Amino acid sequence: MLLADDAVKAAFMPAETPELAAFLQAAPQPVFNCNFRDYHRRRNIALLLQYDGRDFAGFQRQKNALSVQEVLERCLSRLCGEDILIYGCSRTDAKVSALAYVANFYTDAAIPLAAFPLACQALLPPSVSVLEAVEVEHDFNARFSTLAKTYYYDLLLARFVPALLRPSLCRCYYQLDVNKMQEAAALLVGEHDFRAFCAAKAQVTDYRRRVLSLQLREFTLAAPFNLPCLRFVISGDGFLYNMVRIIVGTLTDVGRGRLSVAEVAALLAAGERTRAGMTMPPEGLTLAQVYYPERLFASLSDSPAAGGRRS
């Protein structure tokens, strides 16, 4: 998506509020059992990735569809000369993209870290990029070491979508009252039972999650489009299945007058999925940032995105 200069500069900047910063500073070191396959291998390497999710059925390997994990494991297995198993920081649904995704794998290969991005580029499809590789502690795991994540959801506020932008944006042609949406968004910040914002087929027993920050940011696409957009920026310590997309659908209903702020408070308390908004299409969703106890990647030195808490 072609963004105005200020939005491009903000793409890797942390959507950091005081609440998020305080949480990252106070969060304890993750504790988990390091009983991972290939743990005996000498090196544990973390990768910083970007991918265009439109080409994939999500990150996690699927039986009958192409996933990011599959193409990445195929690439690294060939490169390292051994069977590689990738651990990703998030499953991400089909057609969901990632701006700063973190994955790790164990290997005995002596390949220099600086060689991974270019070598992977030759073996990966154009829709997946390895931006950086770093060697991490042996007990680091991209999923279980995570403290928090930030997602973006982008709405194009226009009656038409230019052809070149059609695959990467979700269009909303209704007039939206952003002030009312912000009022409703404030109700969702904090620790709540989010079962009303979870897909029915989610296989979980605990619906409590903590939303650390939920902001709405208006921006404009770069010339020649000059079209208005609205970005939802949501940070949390964890998310239920389709939770972000349902939150966006619910807030959009508030903006167009289909739901009141009071009704959002009521449906959150009642936990009834049928009273919340629609599950928005996946194309507008991007995993933007992943937070760990320590900074990982030098290429993100100006931001804790995918790199840990502030020092």
3 state SS of 87: strand
**What is the Cα Rg of the chain in Å?**
20
How far is 97 from 111, CA to CA, in rounded Å?
A: 28
Which listed residue (52, 93, 154, 253) is catalytic?
93
Exposed, middle or buried: residue 274 (CB in 10 Å: 0-12, 13-18, 19+)? Answer: exposed
Distances in whole angstroms, Cα of residue 301 to Cα of each of 2, 99, 108, 158: 24, 15, 28, 36
How far is 296 from 183, CA to CA, in rounded Å?
A: 35
300 neighbors 11 (Cβ within 8 angstroms):
no
Q: What are phi and psi of 19, to 5 degrees?
A: -65, -45
- Give, rounded to a whole angstrom, the gap between the first and last alpha carbons of the chain: 32
| Positive or negative torsion for Cα 164, 170, 175, 177 | negative
Which residues are paired to 98 by β-bridges?
Answer: 51, 287
Single-letter amino acid code for the residue at 22: A
Task: Tell me whether residue 93 is one of the annotated catalytic residues.
Answer: yes
How far is 115 from 102, CA to CA, in rounded Å?
A: 18
Q: What are phi and psi of 47, to 5 degrees?
A: -115, 140
Catalytic residue positions, numbered: 93
